[in-house]
Amino acid sequence: MWVIGFGSLFGNSMVIFFRLRNWKLWNNNVQRLFISNLAIADYLMGIYMLVIASMDLYYGELYYLTALTWRESNLCKLIGFVALLSSEATVFLLALITLDRFLCITFPFGTIKFRNTSGRVSLVLTWLLALILSFSPILLGNSVKDFYGFSDVCVGLPFKRYSTKSGYIQYDATESLYIFIESTETEHRPYWTYSIALYLGVNLAVFVLIFLCYVIIFLQVRKSAQTVKSERQQRERKMTIKMALIVGTDFCCWMPVITMGILSQTGVIDLPVSLYAWAVVFILPINSTLNPYLYTFAALGTCKKQTKSPLSRSIVAMGNTVAKRMP
């Protein structure tokens, strides 16, 4: 957790720093805006990881005595909100980046593309949607009060099925144990439905669309490579490999979680508690550490190579000459 947390903070801090410092190297301002916001979303995940690691170090081996207090604390709700905001914003930003690449590559001469204004509006709507989804469990209060208390890591993944048993936990001083007292009254738990709808509904639908878009992009690039036998073909192959890495890392981080949630909710398997913790503190956050290197550092090297090539210098020189002659 410490390695992933600090790795995410360092990598995404470098992303934001290079984007602000070398913004002239990118001709596509929309992609720069999307990737910069993706770095901010991944940065939030790094904060979440370090807070959870700090609390684990703080409670230590005596955590079992204060587990209920921690799950119901405001800090658990706050850090769970940060984790959910980071994960949902990342999913939606990946969808925006995929849609932008889909429009640019599949319809290179089309008029429907992200411009500076439309890109900023899309980012505002994306963050608003992520904020609404993340803040809803807190805003609704008692109706979904246990959403961020699903687990010790304050993230409500749908790894447990709905239980018809209801009741409360009470500490037995004579036995020095916490015991569960079952109630005869039925209890409606909407936070189960909310978690299932969010992770197994919204996120699954978004990643299916991302996967289909990249399949179409891959076929389009392959078709263009068969007809264009030039330097452009090599660039398209490199772009295809880069896209495969991007889709592969996101798929490997999210689809196992979604698959385990589906299998758990359908009753096929019963997931152990330890697997829940591993999914939250390792499988999902690892992509926040990998994204900076996949999206920015590779692009930075590409931009530097293009600015150093003779063709790029000639184009820039011609553009400067034309600009000087214009009134």
- pLDDT-based confidence at residue 129 (cuts at 50, 70, 90): very high
Tell me, what's the pLDDT at 18?
78
Q: How far is CA 251 from CA 110, 236, 244, in A?
A: 29, 22, 10
User: For the segment 232-290, what is each residue's pLDDT rounded down to a tens digit?
Assistant: 555 655 665 666 676 677 777 888 888 888 888 777 877 777 777 788 788 888 888 88
User: For the segment 222-240, what is each residue's pLDDT rounded down to a tens digit?
Assistant: 776 666 555 655 565 566 5
d(CA 38, CA 23): 16
- pLDDT-based confidence at residue 324 (cuts at 50, 70, 90): very low
- pLDDT-based confidence at residue 50 (cuts at 50, 70, 90): very high
Residue 105 has pLDDT above 70, yes or no: yes
Burial classification of residue 53, based on how many CB atoms lie within 10 Å of its CB (0-12 exposed, 13-18 middle, 19 or more buried): middle
Predicted TM-score (pTM) of the model is 0.77
Close Cβ partners of 284 (under 8 Å, ≥ 6 residues apart) = 45, 87, 253, 254, 257
SS3 57: helix
Residue with tokens 């499988």: 283
Mean pLDDT of the chain: 75
> 2-307 is classed in which CATH architecture?
Up-down Bundle (1.20)
Residue 110 has pLDDT above 50, yes or no: yes
